[in-house]
Structure 1
Amino acid sequence: MPKTFVHLTDLHMSNPDVDEPHLYSDTAAILRDALARIDALPDRPEFIIVSGDLTNNEDPVAYQRLRAIWDDVDIPTLFALGNHDSRPDFRREMLGESADLDAPYDHEAVIAGVHVIVLDSSTPDQIHGTLEDAQLEWLAAALDRHADLPKVVVLHHPPMMGADEPAFECLAAEDTEKLRKVLSGRPLLGLFCGHIHQDRVSIWNGVPVFVGNGHHSRMQPFSDMAIEATDGTGFSVCTLRDSGLTVNFLPQPSEGRTVMAMSHEDAARLMSEPAAEVVG
C-alpha cells in the first residue's frame, strides 16, 4: 500500500505584538488552513516533516503559538531549524528542554517504515547554511542504521547547485561538497528543504532535492529584479510506493500580487550584512 507524508516548510510564525516589517502574510492563518487541508486528505499522512524557519524572528512567543497549534495535530511531526530560528528558544518552548540549548538539533525517527533523518543547517546570525563536521559524522552513522528502510533527509538549506547560485540561498560551498561525499553511493529517496521560498525539484549528484515554497511568500525565479516575492504559499504531499516517490506541490489560494521587490544593487548591499533578513 502507498504511504503518504507531508512536507511543510518556512512557517515564519510571529509574535503578533511585535512589528515585523519583513513579514508579508498572516502565517498563522496560512498554517491553520494548511493543517485543515491536510486533515481533509483522503489518505491520512503517516507523518509530517517541517524543514525549518519555524518562526520569522526567533521570538519565544512565536514558538509558543506554534506549539499551541501543534497541540491539536495528531500526526507525528519532525521539525528542522532554519536561519530564522533560535536553537535555545526552540528547545525551551517546543521541546521543554533546559540543557545543551545551543547544540544543533539533529535527530532521526523511523515512522511507518520510513527512516527520516533531520539535520540542523542553521548558522547563528547568517542566512546561508552550514554543517559542522560532527554533524556530518552523525549523518554518516545514521545512514548506516536501518539499512533495509527507505530514507529521507530533511534540512532547511538546499545544497549549492553550482557556482552561479547566490551563496545566501543554500548551504556553503564547502559544506555542500562534504555533504555530497557523505551521501555518495547511498540509497536515498531525497533531500527535503526550504529556505528559498520556491517549489523546486533538482537532481543533485544523483540525489533528488525537493524544495517547498512555504507559508511566507513565493520568490519568483525568473524576474528582472534581484529579489521579487509574491503572496503565494503552499505545501507538498508525498506518496511513497514500491515503484518510487511522488511529490505533489499544493498551492494555497493567493492573488499573485508582489509583496516585496529589490534591485540587484540593493540586494548586493544588503547581502553583505551578516544578519540580513531578506530571504528564507
Structure 2
Amino acid sequence: MLMPFAHISDTHLDCPGSSDFIKRLHREVRDPLENLTCCLQELAARKVAFVLHTGDMVHEGDAGDYAILRRLFDKYLPGVPVIAAMGNHDHRAAFREGFLGIPSPGDEDFTQEVVLDGLRILVLDSAKSGLIGSVSDAQVDWLEERLASPAPRGTFLMMHHPTVCEHPAMALEVSPEFSSLVENSDIHAIFTGHTHSNYNGFFAGKPLYTADSLAFGMLYIQSEVIYTSRSSYNLCWLDEQGRVTTHNQLLYPEVQVLQRKSVAQMIQGLPR
C-alpha cells in the first residue's frame, strides 16, 4: 500500500524581524501565509500521512510566530505529524517553544528521530553555519548510532542544506565518513530545501529530493541568482519496498523575474 506524504520547504512566513529585502519580495509576489494555507488545504484533501518541512519555516521569527505556524497546521491537518528541520533563517529556541511547546535548552543543534508506522525519520541540523551550512562531528556520531540497526520500513534523512544541488555555493560540504555512513545504511531517501529550486538527484547512492520554496523561487544561472514568483511543494508516496515517488505541485508556475543578484552578493550580503 502506498503511503502519501508531503515535502514542503522554505515557507518564510513574514515576521516583525524579517529583513526589508524579504518584506519587499513578499509584497512583489504573494503573502507566504496565503501560499502555505493553499498548500495545506490541498494536502488535507490528499489525506497525507505526514509532512516533512525542510526548514526556513518563518523568517527570523520568535516563539509567537512559530505558534501561529503550529496553529495553521493543526487547523488544516489535525493529527497529521509535521517533522521539521532547522533552516538558516529559523531560531531554535523560538521553534522549540512556539512550535513544539517544549522548554528550550538554548541554541544547541536540533536533531530528532521520529518513527511512523515503522518508517524512521532522522532530522539533522545543517543550519548552524548560516547560508553555507555544515553538519557537526557530533551529529555524524548521533546519526551513526541510530543507523546501526535498520528500521522496519527503512529510514528517511532530512536537513535544510542539500549535499548536491544546481550551484556548488549552496551545497552542504560533508566528510567522507558522512558519505560512507549514508551509503551503507537503510536510508531510502534524503529530503532537503534551502535552494528555492526543485531538484532531484543522488548522494552516496541514495535519492535526494530538494523541494521548491512555498514563498518565492530562485534560479541559478552561472554566477547570478534570479528571484522569481515560482511557488510549489512536492507530493510524495512511499511504497512497501521503500521506493519514493515525488510529484512537483505548482501553486504559482509563472516565473516572473523580481530581482537579480550575484551569487557572491547573496553569500556575503543577503540579509537574514
| TM-score past 0.5 threshold | yes
What is residue 198 of structure 1 aligned with on the other side? 197
User: Residue 57 of structure 1: SS of its match in structure 2?
Assistant: coil
**Cα pair distance change 1:270/1:31, threshold 3 Å:** closer
Q: How does 1:30-41 map to 2 (within 5 A)?
A: 30-41=35-46
User: Residue 220 of structure 1: SS of its match in structure 2?
Assistant: strand
Q: Distance in 2 between matches of 1:67 and 1:98?
A: 16
Give the number of equivalent residue pairs.
264
What is residue 3 of structure 2 aligned with on the other side? 3
Alpha-carbon deviation of 1:114? 1.4
Contact 1:160 1:176 in 2 (8 A): no
Alpha-carbon deviation of 1:198? 0.7
Alpha-carbon deviation of 1:161? 5.9
| CA-to-aligned-CA distance 1:21-49 (integer Å, 9 cap, x gap) | 224231111000000011112xx211111
Alignment partner for residue 156 of structure 2, among 152, 158, 168? 152
Supply the AA of the counterpart residue of 2:110: Y
**Aligned-residue RMSD, C-alpha:** 2.3
User: Residue 268 of structure 1: SS of its match in structure 2?
Assistant: helix
| CA-to-aligned-CA distance 1:86-144 (integer Å, 9 cap, x gap) | 111111211233341212111111112311111111115x2111111111111111122
**Cα pair distance change 1:178/1:272, threshold 3 Å:** farther
Alpha-carbon deviation of 1:247? 0.9
User: Residue 22 of structure 1: SS of its match in structure 2?
Assistant: helix
What is residue 86 of structure 2 aligned with on the other side? 81
Alpha-carbon deviation of 1:271? 2.2
What is residue 62 of structure 1 aligned with on the other side? 65
User: Residue 101 of structure 1: SS of its match in structure 2?
Assistant: coil
Q: Distance in 2 between matches of 1:17 and 1:90?
A: 14
* 1:127 and 2:131 correspond: yes
User: Residue 272 of structure 1: SS of its match in structure 2?
Assistant: helix
Q: Distance in 1 between matches of 2:216 and 2:158?
A: 21
Q: How does 1:144-183 map to 2 (within 5 A)?
A: 144-160=148-164, 165-166=168-169, 169-171=170-172, 173=173, 175-183=174-182
Alpha-carbon deviation of 1:193? 0.2
Q: Distance in 2 between matches of 1:191 and 1:17?
A: 31
| CA-to-aligned-CA distance 1:222-245 (integer Å, 9 cap, x gap) | x36610011111111111123522
- In structure 2, runs of 5+ residues without a counterpart are none
Q: Greater shift after overlay, 131-140 or 18-27?
A: 18-27
More helix, by proportion: 2
Supply the AA of the counterpart residue of 2:190: L
Equivalent pairs: percent with the same residue? 23
Q: Distance in 2 between matches of 1:34 and 1:185?
A: 35
Contact 1:235 1:251 in 2 (8 A): yes
Contact 2:5 2:48 in 1 (8 A): yes
Contact 2:96 2:103 in 1 (8 A): yes
Alignment partner for residue 101 of structure 2, among 89, 93, 96? 96
**Cα pair distance change 1:19/1:229, threshold 3 Å:** closer
Contact 2:67 2:99 in 1 (8 A): yes
User: Residue 255 of structure 1: SS of its match in structure 2?
Assistant: coil
